[in-house]
Amino acid sequence: MALAGALLMVLQVQPVFAANSYEDASRLFKQGNYAGALERIETVIAANPRDARARFLKGLIYTEQNKPVEAIKVFTSLTEDYPELPEPYNNLAVLYASQGQYDKARNSLEMAIRTHPSYAIAHENLGDVYAKMASEAYDKALQLDRSNAAAQTKLAMIKDLFTGSVVPGKGGRDTTESATASATTSAGAEKPTAAKPAAGTGADTDAVLAAVNGWAQAWSSKNADAYLAYYAPDFQVPGGEARANWEATRRDRIIKPKLIQVTVGSPRVSFDATGRAVVKFRQGYKSDALNTSGAKILTLVKNNDRWQIVQERMN
């Protein structure tokens, strides 16, 4: 299910110090420093308790910290204070679905759609919830009557529908790429597509794109060794963290989810004066309980005929 990564700005312009604190919190959030981000965002909220954007980010931080009770409290409060905003309802649905509370998830998504009928993420998530509820109903029917051929067929159809996709439910999540990247748009997941070379590119560009696709495929297949091999020895670890600690964290976030899908959309490759490749694309990430996308930039260098990542950041 798609976890909204943005919130419409509904408040007046905030003081400079609060705006700076929000930007600091957002940056720390993108880097995975959730404790630091929470500390910063609390400062913003203390200065203006009705700052919807700051409270929304606080809810995302709690979500990534695996604190669903606290996150639900934040998003519920937002729906009460700003019932016209669809994103808090959507995020409540994600949290409820991850706990198996599909009735609550459905109600939240219906409210999101009622406030914003063209909110595509909510429509897609509602379809997922209905499909999951149907799957459980058919499974129950088969427990009561194993000879029910109709229920067997319908259950098989639903399972086929979600082959290679994520049905909302309990499970781990990768929290690295979830971020409030924009204050005016909602982030949704792209369908799985492979990166394609831009028109008129040469062998180096093709090799760079092949490396990016291989990196995404290794991540999607939960092959931590192959994934980490795409990072150069001099990779700039975000926040200056020790390489060993960063790798341990990445392994944990790759192994824990039951299923991961990473997509590379509309990649563009350029080369700087030193020969490094810069790839800008739309990254889609989908796991058991998280569905998000955002602009990403990878910088790669060629080491022994192999392109490896030396820097990555959300744009």
Structural domains for the chain: 1-168 (1.25.40.10), 203-314 (3.10.450.50)
Q: How far apart are CA 39 and CA 7, in angstroms?
A: 20
pLDDT per residue rounded down to tens, the chain (315 residues)? 666 654 544 444 444 445 578 888 988 888 888 899 999 999 999 999 999 999 999 999 998 888 999 999 999 999 999 998 889 999 999 898 888 888 898 899 999 898 888 777 888 788 777 777 776 665 666 576 667 666 555 445 444 444 333 333 323 323 333 333 332 233 333 333 334 333 334 788 889 999 999 999 999 999 999 999 999 999 988 777 889 999 998 998 899 888 999 999 889 999 888 889 999 998 988 887 677 778 899 999 999 889 999 999 876
- DSSP letters spanning 196-247: -PPTT--HHHHHHHHHHHHHHHHHHTT-HHHHHTTB-TT---GGG--HHHHH
What distance lies between CA 308 and its chain's CA centroid?
Answer: 24
- Here the tokens at position 10 are 């509904």
Helix (H) / strand (E) element for 182: namely: none
- DSSP letters spanning 65-114: TT-HHHHHHHHHHHHHH-TT-HHHHHHHHHHHHHTT-HHHHHHHHHHHHH
Asked if residues 101 and 136 have their Cβ atoms less than 8 Å apart, the reply is: no
Helix (H) / strand (E) element for 273: namely: none
Residue 10 gets which letter from DSSP? -
Going by C-alpha positions, the residue among 227, 211, 229 that lies closest to residue 300 is 211
> What pTM was estimated for this model as a whole?
0.47
Q: Dihedral of the CA atoms 45, 48, 53, 57 (nearest 10)?
A: 0
The angle that helices 120-144 and 149-161 make with each other, rounded to 10 degrees, is 150
List CB contacts of 309: < 8 A, sequence separation 6 or more.
215, 230, 231, 232, 235, 298, 299, 300
Ramachandran angles phi, psi of 30, nearest 5°: -65, -30
How confident is the model at residue 1, as a pLDDT?
64
